[in-house]
Amino acid sequence: MRTVTLGKTGITVNKNGFGALPIQRISEEEAVKLLRKAHDNGIDFYDTARAYTDSEEKLGAAFEGMRDKIYIASKTMAEDAQGFWKDLETTLRNLKTDYLDIYQFHNPESCPKPGDGSGLYEAMLQAREEGKVRFIGITNHRLAVAEEAIESGLYDTLQFPFSYLSSDKELALVEGCQKADMGFIAMKALSGGLITNSAAIYAYMLGYDNVLPIWGIQRERELDEFLSYQDKEPVLDEALRKVIAADREELLGEFCRGCGYCMPCPVGIEINNCARMSLMIRRAPSDAQLTEEMQAKMKQIEECLHCGQCSKKCPFGLDTPALLEKNYKDYKEILAGKEY
């Protein structure tokens, strides 16, 4: 089984990491079954967050009494020390543990540092001294914050979106982490569902020794797919290279990654799904995109105020209102019978 070492942390784990965001959407019973199956088959790194509703509690239920057999990373979106401690205590209680292997600042707008006035980094250091946190990490969607985190020397790990759709600047982050002896945890390896060939992305990830992908897993068949690659690694052969080239051609550039950082929208538009409808409808099973519920969500685009709040918050610099309009126009044409 292939392993990855997360830089100076020395944490060495299965190349298949488990992203525990999607288990929010299933029952506790289903989540426990899925998580235990993952563990029984060698997955030993689990990434969750205080912001993922009951994900931490489900992990706690699955792994009570097995703490020494797994590595857990969680995250806080706190903006001050008081919020930090409240989050950390809740997280530890939910996970039924007294320490986290990695505690990450969750997508902050700027990189927390000692003396920046927020008290966040100082609180993190204290938590580490108290043994509640072993290593300090940061997650982000903004290149500038990620670059600053690497240069600062203050972090043990960086979590950033990474896939074969990543740009050269994102690839430079992987190299930067290697040079700084930091662990690189890859989120959104399937680009929010737009990459559908898991063998292609798995084979691509094997080319990066220091990258730990955390696959967002909700269904047993998704887990089985990733587990199958442990015994039989996909090879980046001509066929998979063609898949990657075709995806790059179709998806590079101005597309919505579905991250949701632009939300909430004042008129309630579900931007993270609606702004990439044209791609989802063509790349994923289309029935789910054509339900009455989804049609109502798309119709809400008509209410857009063009206030620009969303584009200001989009870490990929997208013109979100224009993208919504474009997707809505295409969607209406599809509903009217256009071939797609």
Q: Which positions touch ligand SF4 (CB under 6 A)? A: 256-262, 265-267, 269, 271-272, 275, 304-310, 314, 316, 318, 320-321, 324
The token pair that represents 249 in the structure block: 């051609």
Which CB atom, from 173 or from 277, has the smaller least distance to ligand SF4? 277
Q: How far is the CB of 326 from ligand SF4 (least distance, A)?
A: 12
Beta carbon of residue 266, minimum distance to ligand SF4 (angstroms, whole number): 5
Integer Cα distance of 112 and 115 in angstroms: 9
Beta partners for residue 241, in sequence order:
none
Smallest distance, Å, CB 275 to ligand SF4? 5
* Of residues 137 and 321, the one with the C-beta less far from ligand SF4: 321
What residue spans of the chain are helical by DSSP H? 28-40, 55-63, 81-95, 120-129, 143-152, 168-179, 198-206, 220-231, 238-251, 271-274, 277-283, 292-299, 309-313, 320-335
| CB-side neighbour CA atoms (13 Å) of 319 | 5
Residue 194 Cβ vs ligand SF4, minimum distance, rounded to whole Å? 11
Question: Nearest distance from residue 278's CB to ligand SF4, in Å?
Answer: 13
- What tokens does 255 get? 């597309």
CB of 313 to ligand SF4, least distance (A): 6
Asked if 59 and 72 touch (Cβ cutoff 8 Å), the reply is: yes
DSSP annotation of 7 reads B
Element (H, E) at 138: strand 133-139
d(CA 245, CA 236): 12
Segment (H or E) for 102: strand 100-106
Rounded to a whole number of angstroms, the minimum distance from the CB of residue 260 to ligand SF4 is: 5
Rg of the chain over all Cα atoms, to the nearest angstrom: 20
- ∠ CA 115-124-187, nearest 5°, is 110
Closest approach of ligand SF4 to the CB of residue 301, in Å: 7
Spatial separation of the C-alpha atoms in residues 109 and 315, rounded to whole Å: 10
Q: Which is nearer to ligand SF4, 197 or 300 (CB)?
A: 300
When the beta carbons of 213 and 321 are compared against ligand SF4, the nearer one is 321
Closest to ligand SF4 by CB, 329 vs 338, is 329
Q: How far is the CB of 247 from ligand SF4 (least distance, A)?
A: 17
Considering beta carbons, is residue 235 or 307 the nearer one to ligand SF4?
Answer: 307
For residue 118, the 8-state DSSP code is S
Rounded alpha-carbon distances, angstroms, from residue 64 to 59, 61, 105: 8, 6, 25
| Residue number, 34 or 304, with CB nearest to ligand SF4 | 304
By beta-carbon proximity to ligand SF4, the closer residue of 5 and 272 is: 272
Measured from the CB atom, the residue of 93 and 306 that comes closer to ligand SF4 is 306
